[in-house]
């Protein structure tokens, strides 16, 4: 995801850009929220093993949220009680993964994935579209 959109959104909301450690914890928190949302919406189709597994992710996400919440200047901008929108939770994961990647490596997850694909295919990143036929 292009972080210019995220930066503009943060600016509009008065939010602070996260350092790499905080961004990783925020990402893990969002993964927990996604697991919780998916369980709430799609729970009927999940086995008890899958429900238990996703519940552990949700609990770990809440733990990550608690850890990062102790950082000065942290603002919780979401009520964890509303989990119905799986797409929005997945988008939050995408956003926080993008913030982490820029803070950590000055790369977007998309750029990192293209680099990995090119490496696995034995080509240059510049040639990836042609190699993949896209």
Asked whether the predicted pLDDT for residue 65 surpasses 70, the reply is yes
Instruction: Compute the mean pLDDT over every residue in the chain, rounded to the nearest whole number.
Output: 91
Query: Domains of the chain: which residue ranges?
Result: 3-105
CA 39/CA 50 separation, integer angstroms: 9
Question: Which string of b and e fits 40-64 if b means at least 16 CB within 10 Å?
Answer: eeeeeeeeeeeeeebeebbeebbeb
Percent of the chain with pLDDT over 70: 92
Confidence of residue 81 (pLDDT cuts 50, 70, 90): low
Q: Whole-angstrom Cα distance, residue 35 to residue 58?
A: 6
What pTM did the predictor assign? 0.86
Measure the CA dihedral 6/101/70/65, to 10°.
Answer: 80
Whether pLDDT at 83 is above 90: no
pLDDT at 27 over 80: yes
Instruction: State residue 86's pLDDT score.
Output: 94
Q: What is the dihedral of CA 69, 71, 74, 80, to 10 degrees?
A: -10
**Distance spanning both ends of the chain, measured CA to CA:** 19
Question: Is 52 in contact with 5 (CB distance < 8 Å)?
Answer: no
pLDDT in tens, 102-120: 999 999 999 999 999 999 9
Q: What is the mean pLDDT of residues 10-15?
A: 90
The residue-averaged pLDDT of 34-42 equals 94
On the question of pLDDT at 100 being above 60, the answer is yes
């Amino acid at each position: 995801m292009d972080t210019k959109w995220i930066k503009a959104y943060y600016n509009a909301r008065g939010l602070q850009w996260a350092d790499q450690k905080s961004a990783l914890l925020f990402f893990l928190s969002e993964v927990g929220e996604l697991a919780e949302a998916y369980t709430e919406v799609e729970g009927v189709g999940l086995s008890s093993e899958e429900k238990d597994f996703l519940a552990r992710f949700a609990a770990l996400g809440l733990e990550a949220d608690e850890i990062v919440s102790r950082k000065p200047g942290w603002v919780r901008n979401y009520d964890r009680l509303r989990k119905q929108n799986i797409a929005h939770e997945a988008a939050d994961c995408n956003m926080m993964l993008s913030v982490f990647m820029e803070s950590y490596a000055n790369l977007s997850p998309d750029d990192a994935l293209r680099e990995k694909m090119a490496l696995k295919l034995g080509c240059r990143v510049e040639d990836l579209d042609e190699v993949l036929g896209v």
